[in-house]
A and B are shown apart, each in its own frame.
Chain A
Amino acid sequence: MSASPPLLRRLGALGPLLMLLVLFALLGALVPDFLGLRNMRGLVLSVTLVGTIATTMMLVLALREVDLSVGSITALSGVLTAVVIARTGSVAAGILAGLAAGAAAGFLNGWVVARLKVNSLIVTLATMEIVRGLAFLVSGGQAVSIPAERFYALGSGTLFGINYPIWLMLLTFIGFGFLLKRTSFGRNVLAIGGNPEAARLAGVPVDRVRIAVFVLQGLVTALAGIVLAARITSGQPNTSQGLELAVISACVLGGVSLSGGVATMIGVVIGVFIMGAAQNALNLLDVPTFYQYVVRGGILLAAVIFDRLRQTGGLSLPTLLTRFTQKDRLAS
Chain B
Amino acid sequence: MSALIAYQGVGKVFPGVVALDGVSFSVADGEVRALMGENGAGKSTLLKILAGEHRPDSGGLLVEGRPVAFASPRDSQAAGIAIIHQELHLAPDLSVTENLLLGMMPTRFGVIDAHAARERARAILARLGEDIDPDARVRTLSIGKRQMIEIGKALARDARIIAFDEPTSSLSARETRTLMRIIDDLRRDGRAILYVSHRMEEVFEISDSVTVLRDGRHVADYPDMKALTQDQLITAMAGRTITDIYDYRARPLGDVAVAVSRLEGPGLRAPLSFEARRGEILGFFGLVGAGRSELFRLIYGAVPSTGGDVLIHGEPLVSADPRRAIAAGLALCPEDRKDEGIVPLAAVAENIALARRNLLGRPLIDERDEGTQAADLIQLMRVKTASPATAIATLSGGNQQKAIIARWLAADSRILLMDEPTRGIDVGARSEIYAHMYRLAEEGRTILFASSDMPEVMGVADRIIVMREGRVAGIVPRADATPDRLLRLALPDASTGQS
CA separation between A204 and B334, bound complex, in Å?
16
Contacts of A190 in B (CB 8 A): 343, 346
Return the contact of B364 from the options A182, A197, A202 (Cβ within 8 A): A182
* Contacts A/B (CB < 8 Å), 21 sampled: A182-B364, A183-B363, A184-B362, A184-B363, A190-B346, A195-B339, A195-B344, A197-B339, A198-B334, A198-B343, A199-B354, A200-B302, A201-B334, A201-B341, A202-B358, A203-B326, A203-B354, A203-B358, A203-B359, A205-B358, A261-B343
A202–B345 contact, CB under 8 A? no
B345 and A261 contacting across the interface, CB-CB below 8 Å: yes
Cβ-based interface call for A231 (8 A): no
CB distance from B296 to the nearest CB of A (A): 11
Q: Let me know if A195 and B357 touch, CB within 8 A.
A: no
| A198/B342 contact (C-beta < 8 A), A1-B394, A184-B365 known | yes
Q: Is the CB of B339 within 8 A of A198?
A: yes
Q: Which residues of B contact A1 (CB under 8 A)?
A: 394
B332 at the interface (CB under 8 A from A): yes
Pick from B332, B354, B386: contact of A191, CB under 8 Å: B354
Q: Which of B340, B344, B361 has the most CB of A within 10 A?
A: B340
Cβ B322 vs Cβ A200 within 8 A: yes
Determine whether B355 belongs to the interface, using a CB cutoff of 8 Å to chain A: yes
List 12 other contacts, CB 8 Å, given A199-B354, A202-B407: A184-B361, A187-B354, A195-B339, A195-B343, A200-B302, A201-B302, A201-B332, A202-B322, A202-B326, A203-B322, A203-B355, A204-B354
Q: Are A201 and B346 in contact, with the CB atoms below 8 A?
A: no
A203 touches B364 (CB 8 A): no
For the complex formed, measure the closest distance between the CB of B358 and the CB atoms of chain A, giving whole angstroms: 4
Contacts of B365 in A (CB 8 A): 182-184, 187
A190 to B351 alpha-carbon distance, docked (Å): 11
- Bound-state Cα–Cα, A261 to B355, Å: 17
Q: Which residues of A contact B322 (CB under 8 A)?
A: 200-203
Tell me which residues across on chain B come within 8 A of A204, comparing CB atoms. Answer: 354, 358
Whole-angstrom CA separation of A188 from B354 in the bound complex = 8
Query: Which residues of chain A are within 8 angstroms of B341 by Cβ–Cβ distance?
Result: 198, 201
B98 in contact (CB, < 8 A): no
Q: 8 shortest A-B CB distances, which residue pairs?
A: A194-B343, A203-B358, A203-B326, A202-B354, A202-B355, A195-B343, A191-B343, A197-B340
Q: How many A-B residue pairs have CB under 8 A?
A: 77
Distance of B395 from chain A, by nearest CB (Å) = 11
**CB proximity to B under 8 Å, residues A1-31:** 1, 3
Interface residues of B in 402-417 (CB under 8 A from A): 407, 411
> How many Å from the CB of B333 to the closest CB on chain A?
9
Contact (A191, B363) CB under 8 Å given A198-B340, A202-B355:
no
Encoded as 1 (CB less than 8 Å from any B CB) or 0, chain A from 158 to 188 comes to 0000000000000000000000001111011
A256 to chain B, nearest CB (A): 13
Q: Which residues of A from 288 to 314 have beta carbons under 8 Å from B? A: none
**Does A262 interact with chain B (Cβ within 8 Å)?**
yes
Q: Of all chain B residues, which has the CB nearest A190?
A: B346
Q: Among B323, B346, B350, which residue has the most Cβ atoms of chain A within 10 A? A: B346
**Interface SS of chain A: helix, strand, loop or mixed?**
helix
What's the minimum C-beta distance from A74 to chain B, rounded to whole angstroms? 29
- The answer to whether the Cβ of B300 comes within 8 Å of any Cβ in the partner chain is yes
CB neighbours of B363 from chain A (8 A):
183-185
Would B345 and A262 count as touching, CB distance under 8 A?
yes
| Binary contact track B304-326/A, C-beta < 8 Å → 1, others 0 | 00000000000000000011001
- The residues of A that contact B346 with a CB separation of less than 8 Å are 190-191, 194, 261
Specify which chain A residues have a CB less than 8 angstroms from the CB of B355 in the assembled complex: 202-203
Contact of B344 among A184, A185, A194, A205 (CB under 8 A): A194
Q: Mark A226-237, 1 if CB is under 8 A from B, else 0.
A: 000000000000
User: Beta-carbon contacts of B418-459 to A below 8 Å, as 1s and 0s?
Assistant: 000000000000000000000000000000000000000000
Residues of B within 8 A of A262 (CB): 345
The verdict on A205 contacting B323 (CB below 8 Å), with A190-B346, A198-B342, A262-B345 known, is yes
- Bound-state CA distance A194–B393 (Å) is 11
A205 nearest CB neighbor, chain B only:
B323
Q: In the complex, A209→B345 CA distance in Å?
A: 19
In the bound complex, CA of A191 to CA of B353 (Å)? 11
| Cβ distance B218 to chain A, nearest Cβ, rounded Å | 34
Is the pair B323, A203 in contact by a Cβ cutoff of 8 Å? yes
* A326 CB → nearest B CB, Å: 18
Task: State the CA gap A195–B392 with chains docked (Å).
Answer: 12
Task: List residues of chain A with CB within 8 A of the CB of B411.
Answer: 203
Q: Give the contacts of B366-410 with A (CB-CB under 8 A).
A: 386, 394, 407
CB distance from A106 to the nearest CB of B (A): 20
Inter-chain contacts of B334 with A (CB < 8 A):
198, 201
Find chain B residues with CB under 8 A from A188 CB.
358
What residues of chain B lie closer than 8 Å to A187, measured between beta carbons? 350, 354, 357, 365
CB-CB under 8 A from B302, the residues of chain A are 200-201
Closest to B365 in A: A182
Residues of B within 8 A of A185 (CB): 363
Q: Which of B334, B343, B359 lies at the interface centre, i.e. has the most chain A CB atoms within 10 A of its CB?
A: B343
| In the bound complex, CA of A185 to CA of B362 (Å) | 10
Distance in angstroms from B185 CB to nearest chain A CB is 44
Which B residues lie within 8 Å of A202 (CB)? 322, 326, 354-355, 358, 407
Question: How many Å from the CB of A8 to the closest CB on chain B?
Answer: 15
Quick one: which of B69-114 are within 8 Å of A by CB? none
**In the complex, what residue of chain A is closest to B364 when comparing beta carbons?**
A183
| Residue pair B340, A194 in contact (C-beta under 8 Å) | no
Bound Cα distance A183, B326 (Å): 21
Residue ID in chain A nearest B353 by CB atoms = A187
Q: Which residue of B lies closest to A204 (CB)?
A: B358
Instruction: Look across to chain B and name the residue whose beta carbon is closest to the beta carbon of A192.
Output: B343
- Tell me the complex Cα distance, A46–B326, Å: 48
A201 and B343: CB pair below 8 A? Answer: no
Are A194 and B339 in contact, CB atoms less than 8 angstroms apart? no
From residue B367, how far is it (CB to closest CB) to chain A in Å? 8
State whether B343 touches A199 (Cβ < 8 A).
yes
Residue of B nearest to A6 (CB): B386
Whole-angstrom distance between the Cβ of B65 and the nearest chain A Cβ: 36
Are B340 and A201 in contact (CB-based, < 8 A)? yes
Residues of chain A within 8 A of B394, CB atoms compared: 1
Q: Which residues of B have CB within 8 Å of A201?
A: 300, 302, 322, 332, 334, 340-341
- Of residues 274 to 330 in B, which have CB atoms within 8 Å of A's CB atoms? 300, 302, 322-323, 326
B339 and chain A: residue at smallest CB distance: A197
Q: How many angstroms from the CA of A190 to the CA of B343 in the assembled complex?
A: 9
- Check A184–B364 contact: CB distance below 8 A: yes
- Determine the chain A residues whose CB is within 8 A of the CB of B300 once the complex forms: 201
Most B CB within 10 A of own CB, among A1, A184, A187, A203:
A203
Asked if A184 and B357 sit within 8 Å, CB to CB, the answer is: yes
Give the docked Cα–Cα distance between A182 and B366 (Å). Answer: 8
Measured between C-beta atoms, what is the minimum distance from B356 to chain A in Å?
A: 9
Point out the residues of chain A lying under 8 angstroms from B345, CB to CB.
194, 261-262
> In the bound complex, what is the Cα–Cα distance between A194 and B345 (angstroms)?
7
Residues of A within 8 A of B340 (CB): 195, 197-198, 201
Q: How far is the CA of A205 from the CA of B326 in the complex (A)?
A: 12
Give the distance in Å from the alpha carbon of A188 to the alpha carbon of B411 in the complex.
16
- Distance between Cα atoms of A183 and B341 in the complex (Å): 22
- When C-beta atoms are compared, the residue in chain B nearest to A184 turns out to be B357
* Distance between Cα atoms of A215 and B120 in the complex (Å): 58
Per-position 1/0 for A186-226, Cβ under 8 A of B: 01101100110111111111000000000000000000000
Q: Which residues of A have CB within 8 Å of B386?
A: 3
